[in-house]
Amino acid sequence: MSSQQTFRLGILGSGKGSNADAIADGCASGKIPAQVAVVLSDVAEAGILQKARARGLNAKFIDPGKFRTKLDDAAEVAFIKTLQEAKVDLVVLAGFMRILKGEFLRVFKDRVINIHPSLLPSFPGLDAWKQALDYGVKHTGVTVHFVDQGIDTGPIIAQETVAILQGDTAEMLHKRIQETEHRLYSKAVAALARGEVQVRGRQTIWKQS
């Protein structure tokens, strides 16, 4: 990307889209030096698409095909093609509930990031805040990481702890985790857009700005 061009984000999500919304806010206010080029979902009626359309962003549903937890071959091709046509520099997973592997990660090598609602490597997978609550840990948190072939295993870009308070319900804890997510993801995407984060093996290195 030349220094004249705006860094372009492709955001993928399956749910209500609060992280995508926070990132779009950051782009609109200039806190994130990037633009949302496209928002894609595997769920036709997902809030993430409705929120993106309400902002006038380019938002599309792509049929994920016959599998429950991954994209079928035709869907993978369609996601890749749409992101390439939108000339995205970074693929931002924001509650995208399908596993991306193989060709997708080859095409966007070191350019796919995810947010996960726990301090990885603790509590990978679904409903991580509920897993933390059930386990009885006193602190959980949020992780932003590059996506690799594993499930929630890629190199960690940023983490922040969230305390579990006495009397917390899953909903109360998830609300505080999401507030942290919106701040941490925006900060990480801004640093990546400025070229301040490099990945070397499992390590990520943040340049001082």
| Residues recognised as catalytic | 116
Using alpha carbons only, how large is the chain's radius of gyration in Å?
16
Among 140, 178, 180, 186, binds ligand GAR (CB under 6 A): 178
Residues forming a β-bridge with 104: none
Residues 6+ apart with CB under 8 A from 207: 195, 196, 197, 198
Matching residue, tokens 């932003």? 144
Instruction: State the nearest-atom distance from the C-beta of 18 to ligand GAR, in Å.
Output: 3
How far is the C-alpha of 155 from the C-alpha of 135, rounded, in Å? 25
Instruction: State the nearest-atom distance from the C-beta of 31 to ligand GAR, in Å.
Output: 18
Where in 47-106 is the site for ligand GAR (CB under 6 A)?
48, 94-95
Q: Does 15 engage in binding with ligand GAR (CB under 6 A)?
A: yes
Scanning 8-16, 34-42, 58-66, 154-162 for contacts with ligand GAR by CB under 6 A, the matching segment is 8-16
Q: Does 154 engage in binding with ligand GAR (CB under 6 A)?
A: no
Backbone angles phi, psi at 191, to 5 degrees: -65, -40
Q: Does 187 engage in binding with ligand GAR (CB under 6 A)?
A: no
Q: Which is nearer to ligand GAR, 41 or 204 (CB)?
A: 41
Among 17, 26, 64, 154, binds ligand GAR (CB under 6 A): 17
Tell me, by CB under 6 A, how many residues bind ligand GAR: 15
Nearest CA to 92 out of 64, 108, 114, 70 is that of: 114
Instruction: State the nearest-atom distance from the C-beta of 115 to ligand GAR, in Å.
Output: 5
Q: Which is nearer to ligand GAR, 17 or 64 (CB)?
A: 17
Q: Does 141 engage in binding with ligand GAR (CB under 6 A)?
A: no
Among 133, 181, 184, 188, binds ligand GAR (CB under 6 A): 181
> CB count, 10 Å around CB of 201?
6
Contacts with ligand GAR by CB under 6 A lie at: 13, 15-19, 48, 94-95, 115-117, 128, 178, 181
